[in-house]
Amino acid sequence: MAIATTPFDPAIYVTDADAVEIYLADAFESDDPAVIADALGVVARSRGMSALAADTGLTRQALYKALSHDGNPEFVTILRVAHALGFRLTPQRLPEHA
């Protein structure tokens, strides 16, 4: 008998401000644009893509496409989404460059 499984969706668990901050910080530490875009997409889905679309001035379809693991969002999209989610991007010096 096969085991029944369901797809894992992290958006179900990233529901409060602290969880969002930790999730996004971890994604940004990866330095992988695909991971960052995907993490922003997860948080966007957890908050509601329609509301985020209204807050950013972008369409839901454009957000889904840009914030997928295969997406390649423009930097302005990243900034708009981050601001709409209540975050700002700030530079932080790398330890090896201190």
* Total-model pTM: 0.84
In the chain, where are the structural domains located? 12-88
Rg, C-alpha atoms of the chain: 15
pLDDT at 18 over 70: yes
pLDDT digits (tens, 9 = 90+) for 21-73: 999 999 999 999 889 999 999 999 999 999 999 999 999 999 999 998 788 89
35 within 8 A of 58, measured Cβ to Cβ: no
Q: Domain 12-88: give its CATH architecture.
A: Orthogonal Bundle (1.10)
Q: For residue 96, give the 3-state DSSP assignment.
A: helix
